[in-house]
Amino acid sequence: MSELFLNNKYIGKVDNGKEFVNQLLEQRRNNKFSININFLYHDKTDQIFVETSSGRCIRPLIVIKDSKSALTETHVEKLEKNEVKWSDLLKQGVVEYLDSLEEESSIVSLKESNLTQDDTHLDISPIDIFGLTSSLVPFGNYNQGVRLTQGSKNQKQAVGFYTANFFARMDMDVNLLHYPQRPVVTTVTNEILDMDRHPSGQNIVVAIMSYKGYNMEDAIVINKGSIDRGFGRSTYYRPVITEELRYSGGLTDEISIPDKDVKGYRTEHDYRFLEEDGIIYSEGVVEEGDVIIGKTSPPRFLSSLEEYNLATTSRRESSSALKHGEKGIVDFVMLTESEEGNKLVQVRLRDQRIPEIGDKFTSRHGQKGVISLVIPEADVPFTASGIKPDIIFSPYGVPSRMTVSHLIELLAAKTGALSGRYIDGTTFEGEKEADIRLELLKMGFRDNGTETMYNGITGEQYQAKIFVGNMYYLKLKHMVANKIHSRARGPIQLLTRQPTEGRAKEGGLRLGEMEKDTFVAHGASLLLKERFDSDKTEVPVCENCGLIAVYDTRRNNFHCPVCGENVEISNVEMSYAFKLILDEFKSMTIYPKLKLKSKY
């Protein structure tokens, strides 16, 4: 007697578990009930599990009947002629869905040629073992597994053509590549995912060589001519959104050019782009500090008295302006209504991004790199036939990472570009490397992909033969323009008087605890003091009671709140943070008495 569990709940008992489950499987394949139900007979515990719950992961597999694939040649032919559909295969029991439970009792073969006696199922394609983006890596079967993962991670960050209706959209943080191309070396997944209509890279010429040491440590050297012709250009879109909010008491925000008497009024110059409706015009070229949408809000805390006297005059300025380091061109202005029925203004900014030093590029094999040098086209090395690479990639990136697929793609794309056809590089099932080499040889090139090259500056021939070819390169969304940051002086925090933190606030880079230790270890005592001078203050201290005294600007004298005016008061230099901790001690009813002594 076997116990039967439906969705892990005990239901009852069955005479012969194995037989029972086999019957159920047979009936499911014969379309007697839903294909989404899975069964498992567990030998050791003599239990049957039936799963029907929602949200399970299921995957399709070809059924094996009598050690032969249920998917026959005739099926394939009919599929190609569109006479049979996927749903028909499911109905016929050729393909079925397995969940993790039923997978437990089945043995799945990766390839039809590897079928053994015990196999119960067959993968539809060997690339089923990869995820969507992992299977986009061409010739992935030549690689170490980690590189596939990294390659797929890089592809997710690529700048491309993510949607065709981007004109009508107000997405945050969008990058669009200007001349996206279909890769010469494609994969089956490329087709399945319709990547040809949403490409994310460009086919370029890559030479694997060093260039004056500028491409060491994963840096890449790029041809200025390629950039000028549009390689790697993208546009960055960012919306500025403001809503006219309603507050209690019938008060509302107002989108308009703020009056000069508004609290927090910027300068007239900052509002220069605003039209009468308080919104910027299209194609306005804006920089940091410029107001995009002018807005005023009612005062924050209304006491009953003020409401009558000052309500109209004390409105707050709450415009949307560009923050530090931002720039762009107004692309599109849209006026709509929010869900609550408030006036909603959306302004989309656009900024063209031309590749520059510090921008990140990658091939599809986890071989990412940052531009370190842009060289004039005249200085770029060239081949005997006059081909100039767009990117010079360092050979030291290959041996330790073992990305063989990178090299094979280069070779395959070269062949594809020369013969004018797309090359299938699907993992496990792509064209064979030997065939590609032979084809290249027939076209009059060396079969190992190397060519004689000449120094672009001197015109001398390089002694070594250089491995050049085509590759599909992706521009990644990490661009210096969004990250560059420096500060010599700037805003400070109100509480601590220390510099603000972060790029958006034009902040400083913190010299932390461990960094402090390095100064101490070097005995650089005075340098350390200077570095921590950012919040230095001079505080008057009463020498009698040792507490912080007061300086009265109007009367130009000092007095101690405890001891009065007739006491010795000296100015003491200390960090503002220390003054704060003294205050905090006082709030804890601890008396922090300072005993002063001349420094000299």
Partner 1 sequence: MKRELIEFKDKLPPKLLEDLERELLDKASGSKIKKIAEKIHAEYRGSLAEPGEAVGLVTAESIGEPGTQMTLNTFHFAGVSEMNVTTGLPRLIEILDARKVISTNMMEIYLKKPYSQGKDIRQIAEGLKETRFKEYIKEININVAETKMRIELDDKKLKDRGMTSTKIARILKKSLKGFDVRIDKDNSIRIKTSGEEALNMIYRLKEKIKDIYVNGVKGITQVLPVKREEEYVIVTAGSNLKDVLKLDFIDAQRTTTNNINEIEKLFGIEAVREAIVREIIKVLKDQGINIDVRHILLVADAMTMSGKVLGVSRYGIVKEKPSVLARASFETPIRHVINASMVGEIDELNSVIENVMINQPVPLGTGLPGLITKIKEEKGAKKKK
Interacting stretch for partner 1, rule CB under 8 A, among 172-180, 206-214, 316-324, 512-520? 512-520
- Residue among 258, 246, 243 nearest 345 (CA): 243
Q: How far is the CB of 547 from partner 1 (least distance, A)?
A: 14
Cβ atoms of 300 and 306 closer than 8 Å = no
Displacement of CA 90 from its chain's centroid (Å): 39
Long-range contacts of 442-448, Cβ-Cβ distance < 8 Å, separation of 24 or more: 443/415, 443/418, 443/419, 445/414, 445/418, 448/411
Residue 86 is a binding residue for partner 1 (CB under 8 A): no
User: Which residues pair with residue 241 across a beta bridge?
Assistant: 346
Cα dihedral 269, 273, 279, 283 in deg (nearest 10): -150
Active-site position among 218, 379, 424, 447: 218
CA separation for the pair 32, 9 (Å, rounded): 23
From the CB of residue 275, how many other CB atoms can be counted at a distance below 10 Å?
12
In the complex with partner 1, which residue's Cβ is closer, 308 or 600?
A: 600
Cβ atoms of 577 and 537 closer than 8 Å = no
Angle, helix 404-419 to helix 433-442, in steps of 10 degrees: 40
Q: How far is the CB of 562 from partner 1 (least distance, A)?
A: 17
In the complex with partner 1, which residue's Cβ is closer, 9 or 595?
A: 595
Q: How far is the CB of 578 from partner 1 (least distance, A)?
A: 5
Write each residue from 173 to 212 as x if it is in contact with partner 1 (CB under 8 A), else as -, in one continuous string: ----------------------------------------
Cβ atoms of 64 and 111 closer than 8 Å = no
Map residue 300 onto helix, strand or coil.
coil
Interface residues for partner 1 in 456-495 (CB under 8 A)? none
In the complex with partner 1, which residue's Cβ is closer, 451 or 535?
A: 535
Q: How far is the CB of 528 from partner 1 (least distance, A)?
A: 6
Cβ atoms of 288 and 320 closer than 8 Å = no
CA separation for the pair 11, 18 (Å, rounded): 17
Cβ atoms of 353 and 236 closer than 8 Å = yes
In the complex with partner 1, which residue's Cβ is closer, 261 or 533?
A: 533
Q: How far is the CB of 537 from partner 1 (least distance, A)?
A: 9
Say how many residues touch partner 1, by CB under 8 A. Answer: 33
- Beta strand 391-393 pairing with 201-208: parallel
In the complex with partner 1, which residue's Cβ is closer, 126 or 508?
A: 508
In the complex with partner 1, which residue's Cβ is closer, 163 or 557?
A: 557
From the CB of residue 264, how many other CB atoms can be counted at a distance below 10 Å?
12
- Which residue carries 């920089």 as its tokens? 287
Q: How far is the CB of 468 from partner 1 (least distance, A)?
A: 41
Q: How far is the CB of 529 from partner 1 (least distance, A)?
A: 5
Write each residue from 296 to 325 as x if it is in contact with partner 1 (CB under 8 A), else as -, in one continuous string: ------------------------------
Interface residues for partner 1 in 514-553 (CB under 8 A)? 516-517, 520-529, 532-533, 535-536
Stretch (H or E) spanning 17:
helix 17-29
Write each residue from 555 to 594 as x if it is in contact with partner 1 (CB under 8 A), else as -, in one continuous string: -------------x-xx-xxx-xx--x---x--x-xx---
In the complex with partner 1, which residue's Cβ is closer, 473 or 558?
A: 558
In the complex with partner 1, which residue's Cβ is closer, 90 or 547?
A: 547
Provide φ and ψ at 375, rounded to 5°. -105, 145
Q: Residue 87, exposed/middle/buried by CB under 10 A (0-12, 13-18, 19+)?
A: exposed
The question of whether 196 is a catalytic residue gets the answer no
Q: How far is the CB of 580 from partner 1 (least distance, A)?
A: 11
Write each residue from 93 to 122 as x if it is in contact with partner 1 (CB under 8 A), else as -, in one continuous string: ------------------------------
Cβ atoms of 388 and 377 closer than 8 Å = yes
From the CB of residue 483, how many other CB atoms can be counted at a distance below 10 Å?
10
Interface residues for partner 1 in 37-66 (CB under 8 A)? none
Catalytic residues: 218
| Binding positions for partner 1, rule: CB under 8 A | 516-517, 520-529, 532-533, 535-536, 568, 570-571, 573-575, 577-578, 581, 585, 588, 590-591, 595, 598-600
